[in-house]
Structures are given as structure tokens and as C-alpha cells.
Amino acid sequence: MALNDILAVSAVFPALRVASKKQALQDLAAHAAGILQRDEREIFETLNQRERLGSTGVGSGIAIPHGKLAKMDRLFGMFARLEKPIDFEALDGEPVDLIFLLLAPEAAGADHLKALARIARLLRDPEVAKKLRASRDAATIYAILTGEQATDAA
């Protein structure tokens, strides 16, 4: 699964300012709701439900909050680089500054899991993470994540 199939430049936030995990999830839900024309509360509640099962902070400053929504027709990704790392209750106890949000249709099944695995592999690459942390604009971050130049097709 190519990330350019689920991520658009308009869904990349190079300097998100949040002070807590809850605020990060709220801001990401608000941005996703605007892009997807969905209910912000529904997205936030879906993400929150998943976090209650265990943190999506996977370690090394990375979090991959995700969930499934009714009446979605495709996988949707959003990326945020935080201005300041926050406590995300990550598995390794380290603060998080790179967040990749993934929303999937209820029936996505294997596609959802494949996308999560692809995102985790990419973000856990130390060179990729270093480049993402050093980048300050959406087009550059998009190019790092997708391996291609920015187009806003998604």
C-alpha cells in the first residue's frame, strides 16, 4: 500500500501546537472532519475509544492513532509534526512528536492492518524520522512520507 493513496499534502501539518494527548486527538479530529466532511465528535470518540484499549504511542516519539468509521469509502491518513513533544502514554514512556492518524472504513479489515504496518515501518526508520523532525513544510514532509513530489490528489 502506497501512502500517497491515503495521504494528501492538505492533510500534513508541519508544526501542530498542542499541549496534551487529548488536545492532539481533538485537533487531529477537527482537521480530519474538515477534510472528510464528517462529524468531528464522531472521529474524536473513535480515536478515544481506541486509546482506551492502549496507547497508540508506539515508541521513539511516534504515535499512530487510528480507528474505523461507518460510511467511509476509503482509508484516510493525516500526519502531524508537533512543535513540542507531548506525553502520549507511549509504550517506551518517551514523549511523542510525530503523529500519523489513520481512519478506515468499518469493513477495511486487512487493508487497515496493512496500512498500519506500512506506516509503522516507515516512521520507525531512524533516517525517515530524522528527516521528518527536521522538515518545516508540508510539501517536504509529504515527499518524505510518500517518496514522491507533492500533489494534492487525495
Residue 66 is a catalytic residue: yes
pLDDT in tens, the chain (154 residues): 689 999 999 999 999 999 999 999 999 999 999 999 999 999 999 999 999 999 999 999 999 999 999 999 999 999 999 999 999 999 999 999 999 999 999 988 888 999 999 999 999 999 999 999 999 999 999 999 998 765 444 4
Cell of 80: 502531524
What is the 3-state secondary structure of the chain?
CCHHHCCCHHHEEEEECCCCHHHHHHHHHHHHHHHHCCCHHHHHHHHHHHHHHCCCEEECCEECCEEEECCCCCCEEEEEEEEEEECCCCCCCCCEEEEEEEEEECCCCHHHHHHHHHHHHHHHCHHHHHHHHHCCCHHHHHHHHHCCCCCCCC
State how far the Cα of 59 lies from the Cα of 93, in Å rounded to an integer. Answer: 7
Q: What is the distance between the alpha carbons of residues 52 and 57, in angstroms, rounded to a whole number?
A: 12
**57-91: per-residue pLDDT in tens?**
999 999 999 999 999 999 999 999 999 999 999 99
Residues in the chain, overall count: 154
Predicted pLDDT at 2: 82
CATH T-level fold of 3-146: Mannitol-specific EII; Chain A (3.40.930)
Provide the whole-model pTM: 0.93
Name the catalytic one among 66, 67, 80, 86. 66
Task: Please report, for the chain, the start and end positions of each structural domain, with discontinuous segments joined by +.
Answer: 3-146
Q: Which residues of 4-22 are buried (b: 16+ CB within 10 A; e: fewer)?
A: bebbbbebbbbebebeebe
**Count of CA atoms in the C-beta half-sphere (13 A) of 141:** 26
Name every residue whose Cβ is closer than 8 Å to that of residue 154 and which is 6 or more positions away in sequence.
Answer: 4, 5, 6, 7, 8, 10, 11
| pLDDT score of 153 | 44
